[in-house]
Amino acid sequence: MQGYRIYRGVSGGPLTLLATVNVQASSFTDTAVVNGGSYAYQVAAFSTFGEGPRTPVATAQRGTAPGAPRTPAAATGPKGITLTWAAPTSNGGSAVTAYRIFRSTSSGTESFHVSVGGSTLTYLDKAVTKKTKYFYWITAVNVFGEGAHSPEVSATAR
């Protein structure tokens, strides 16, 4: 035996040769896939005498970035503005690894402020100026990327 031929296509469609790997290969990573894509694969061993039978079709779907964090809220307290939110409805097929918080003093112009861990659903913004209104939105991040931002929330610092 000389190696393996890996075939790929879309689920339910024809499969075409994607790669040829040597006989020592025990795995193959398909790096030419898109987030959310659904793929079908087969593998066949080959030698100088030709190609053997293909494996049964195996399917896989590439994940996506998570959805937007839900139900954000901003509340003013004596130490700053506390943000709270709920995890997105969809994590895109991979755990949320971080939440990114965007902030501005003008609605709709938020820029990146800070990142917190993926299990964190609250943030206390202590770097605020009294009597200033702050606007926020939050995004969720996983291994596939950053999702859409939450609805905007605001609060005025005491």
Three-class DSSP category at 83 = strand
Architecture of domain 70-156: Sandwich (2.60)
Q: pLDDT tens digit string along 94-136?
A: 999 999 999 999 999 999 999 999 999 999 999 999 999 999 9
Superfamily for 3-61? Immunoglobulins (2.60.40.10)
Same fold, 3-61 and 70-156: yes
Q: pLDDT tens digit string along 26-85?
A: 899 999 999 888 999 999 999 999 999 999 999 999 999 999 999 999 999 999 999 999
Where are the chain's structural domains? 3-61, 70-156
Cβ atoms within 10 A of the Cβ of 103, count?
A: 21
